[in-house]
Structure 1
Amino acid sequence: MIYNSLVKTLLFQLDAERAHDLTYQFAQKVSDSSFLQAVARAIYNYQSPKLSQNIWGLTFKNPIGLAAGFDKNGKIPRAMEATGFGFVEVGSITGDPSIGNPRPRMFRLPKDRAVINRMGLNNDGAKTVVKRLKNKKISIPLGINIAKTHDSSVMGDRAIQDYIHSFHEAKKIADYITINISCPNTEEGKTFEDPKALNELLSGLNIRGDARMLPTLVKISSDLSKAELMKLLQVCEEHRVHGYVACNTSSKRDNLMTNSSVLDKIGTGGLSGPPIAEKSIQIIQWISKATNGQKPIIGVGGIDSFSTALKMMLAGADLLQVYTGLIYEGPSLIKDINRQLVKELKELNVDTIHQLVTAAEL
C-alpha cells in the first residue's frame, strides 16, 4: 500500500533508470544492515513449507525469484532474501566490464505497465562480480546469468572464449548458471540463437561431458517461432542442459496501448511486462511438452499478479521470476503471489506446488 500510494508516485517522477538507481542504492543499504533486513522481513517476507521445492538438489523456499537485470553487479542478494524471494539471479555478467549503451536507455510504458530497455549489458565484469559475491552469504539459491561481452569485435571463437571465462568464474560461487543467448540489447542483436552457433557454444562449455557440472540453464527469447524453438531445444537436449529460462524481453511491439509516436521516439530495446506474458506462457508450454515435463523451467516475462503466475505454472514453469512487475506493484508482489499460492493449495486440498499443477488440470 505504501509503495503504490507514495513511493511509486515519487519514483515515477524520475527518469526510469534514475528511479532504478535510487531503488538499487537503497537495497544496498538494506543488504549492509541487519536492522533494515529485519524490517524488510517483517513487512514483506512470507514463507510456508507448502511452497518449498527441491530442484537440481537445491532447496527453493518459495518459487518466486528475482530475474536477471535488476542486480547486475551482485550487490543486493541479502536485501532480496530479506524481502522474501525464494532465489535470486544476478547478472547478466560478461567476460569484460561494460558501461553499456548511452543514456537514456530505459523507458516506462505506464499504459501497458511495461518497460523498454536497451541497457547494453552494463556490468562490472565476471571476475569483479564473482569476487564481490564471495562475501554475500545468503541461504537461498544464487543463480548467475552470463552473456557475451557487449563489444561487436567479440565474435566467433572469441565470443565462445568470452562465455567460457564468465562460466568458469560463475562456477566458483553460483548454485546454478543461466546462459543468456537471447539478449537483444547489444549492437549485433541476438547472439547464439542460431542452432549451429549454440551447438559450438555448448560444446565449448562442455556441459554434457562434465559429470560435476553445476545446473546449467539456457535463457530463451520470447520472439521465437515454434519451429525456431524446437531447433534450439534439440541442440540443448543433445548437450543435456539442466533446464530453461523462458523468456527474455521482446524486440517486437505487439499488443501495446502506448501511442506509436511514443514508441518511435523511444526506439529499439527489449520490451518486458504484461504485453509479453502470453508469449512467455506459450513458449513455456512448448518447452514443457517437448521435454515431456522432465526439465525444470523458470517462467519469466510479464508476471505482475497471482493470476499470471498461476498461468505460467500451469503451462509448465516450476519456478518464476519477476522484475518489471516490481516496478509497478512494489516488493509486496512477492508476498501476494506466495500467499495466494498457499491459499490455492489449501482450496485444492494438496500439499505441494507439483500437486497443485496436477490438481488444477483435473
Structure 2
Amino acid sequence: MGTTARRAMTTAYTKGVKPVIFRMHPDRVHDDMVRHGGWAQRLTPVLAAAESLLTHSDPALTTEAYGLTLRNPLGLGAGLDKNVAIPGILQMTGFGFLTFGSVTSRVCAGNPRPWFHRLPADESLVVHVGLANGGAERVAARLRELADASHPRLTALPFKLSVARTNDALAGDLEEGIEDYVASVRALDGLSPLLELNISCPNTTVGEAFTEPDALDRLLAAVDQASPSQRIVLKMPSDKPWEHFRDLVDVALDHRVDGLTLANLRKDRDAVTLDPAIRGNLSGRPVRELSTELVRRTYLHAGDRLTLAGLGGVFDGRHAYDKITAGATLVELVSGLIFRGPAVVGTIAEQLVALAQADGFARVQDAVGSRAEEPARTVA
C-alpha cells in the first residue's frame, strides 16, 4: 500500500502541484509553507495517516548513530525549517531524523531578498538567505514549548540543531565570532540530542573564518570548555582542496567532535548557466558528486572515529546509497523534497533496502564504507 500511495503522490506532485508552485517565486513558496504548515500540523490524525503512507518501514533501515536508534538513515538537512516551525509536517514525510536551523545567537534578518532562485534544468536552488532566523533564545523557548505541548508527535523524531555565527553588522573579529557561537551553544544546551556547528555558510558578510584550521581549533577549544550536553557535529564546506579539508578533519579529531556533515553549498557556479546578478550558492545536483567524494576521502582518512552524514543532490535511492557505500552512516536532503515532492523520502528508503540487499547486506548500515576504496563513481 505504501509503495502505491507514494507513487501516486509523486505523480500528483510532479504533474499537478510542482508546475503550479514553480510558477511562484521560491521565496513566497517557502514562506507560505512555513506559515500554513504551522497550522496544518495541528491536525494530528491527518498527519498520522499521511505518515503511515509516506514512510517506508523495514528493520533493514534501522540505523545506530550518536547513541540513537533511528528508523532509517535519512535526515532533513538544515535550512528548510530554521525556527522549528513545522516539525510535525516534516516528520510526516518519513525521515529518520530532522535538522533545524541554522540558528544564531542574535536575531538575524538575513541577506536582502530574493533568497532563492530555481534552476529546474539543473535540479538546483541558488541560496542566498544569509542565516535569517529568530535567534537562539527564541528557538530555545520554542523547543521548551514543544516539549510541554499536548501533541508529542511534534517532537517525536530525534533532531539536530544547527548553529551558525550571526550574520549582522555586529559581527567582528575572530574572538567575537567564537563568543557568538558559544552564546548559542549555551542557550541551546540540553535541548536536542545533537548540536551542529555550521562553520561553512557561504552567504555571510564576514565569510567563513572558521574553515581555517587554526581558527577552527580555537573555536572548538571554546566549545569544549563550554561543555554542552549534546554531541557535536560540524557542517563542513564543499569547496576546499582535499589537503585543506583534511586539516580541518584533523582539528575536529583533536576535539570532542563526534561527526561531520558533508557538505555545504557549492560556491563554484561554472557548472550551471546563471545570470551573474543572481547572488548565492548552489544546492542540489551540482553538489552531489563533490559531497560524495568528500565522504569517501574523509571515511578513508578518519575511519569510524567520526560519524559522517552525506548531504547534496540526493533525489533517489542510488544517490543516497552511493554516499553510504562511500562511508556515510547518515544521508541528508533538502532539495530532493523540492524537486521530487514529499514522497521522495519513503521512496529513497525503499530503494536503499533493495540496493543493500542486492549487494548481500542484511541491513543498509552494513553497507557503510563498502566501496570507499573504489575510485569515485560518476552519477548522472
Within the candidate set 151, 167, 192, 2:185 is matched to 167
User: Does the 8 Å contact 2:238/2:262 carry over to 1?
Assistant: yes
1:35 has 2:52 as partner:
no
Counterpart of 2:199 in structure 1 is 181
Within the candidate set 276, 297, 302, 2:287 is matched to 276
1:191/1:30 Cα in 2 relative to 1: closer, same or farther (>3 Å)?
A: farther
1:307/1:254 Cα in 2 relative to 1: closer, same or farther (>3 Å)?
A: farther
- CA distance in 2 between counterparts of 1:263 and 1:171 reads 42
1:198/1:360 Cα in 2 relative to 1: closer, same or farther (>3 Å)?
A: closer
- CA distance in 1 between counterparts of 2:369 and 2:109 reads 46
- Kindly state the Cα deviation for residue 231 of structure 1 after the two structures are TM-superposed: 1.3
SS at structure 2 position matched to 1:292: helix
- Kindly state the Cα deviation for residue 358 of structure 1 after the two structures are TM-superposed: 6.5
- CA distance in 2 between counterparts of 1:9 and 1:42 reads 26
Counterpart of 1:148 in structure 2 is 165
- CA distance in 2 between counterparts of 1:348 and 1:251 reads 35
User: Does the 8 Å contact 2:318/2:352 carry over to 1?
Assistant: no
- CA distance in 2 between counterparts of 1:197 and 1:273 reads 29
- Kindly state the Cα deviation for residue 160 of structure 1 after the two structures are TM-superposed: 1.0
1:41/1:193 Cα in 2 relative to 1: closer, same or farther (>3 Å)?
A: same
Counterpart of 2:3 in structure 1 is none
- CA distance in 1 between counterparts of 2:230 and 2:304 reads 20
User: Does the 8 Å contact 2:61/2:365 carry over to 1?
Assistant: no
Say how many residue pairs are matched. Answer: 355
1:232 has 2:248 as partner:
yes
- Structure 1: runs of 5+ lacking an equivalent: none
- CA distance in 1 between counterparts of 2:42 and 2:312 reads 30
Counterpart of 1:221 in structure 2 is 237
Cα RMSD, aligned residues only: 1.9
- CA distance in 1 between counterparts of 2:17 and 2:53 reads 15
Counterpart of 2:6 in structure 1 is none
SS at structure 2 position matched to 1:84: coil
- CA distance in 2 between counterparts of 1:265 and 1:204 reads 39
Which deviates further from its counterpart, 342-351 or 101-110? 342-351
Residues 275-328 of structure 1 deviation map (CA, whole Å, 9 limit, x = unaligned): 111110111112111102331101101111211111111111100111111111
Counterpart of 1:99 in structure 2 is 109
State the one-letter code of the partner of 1:354: Q
1:158 has 2:168 as partner:
no
- CA distance in 2 between counterparts of 1:231 and 1:153 reads 29
- CA distance in 1 between counterparts of 2:170 and 2:36 reads 36
State the one-letter code of the partner of 1:338: A
TM-score by length of 2: 0.89
Residues 309-349 of structure 1 deviation map (CA, whole Å, 9 limit, x = unaligned): 11111111100111111111011110110011122234344
1:133 has 2:143 as partner:
yes
Which deviates further from its counterpart, 35-44 or 119-128? 35-44
Counterpart of 2:19 in structure 1 is 9
State the one-letter code of the partner of 1:139: A
Counterpart of 1:56 in structure 2 is 66
Tell me the percent identity: 31
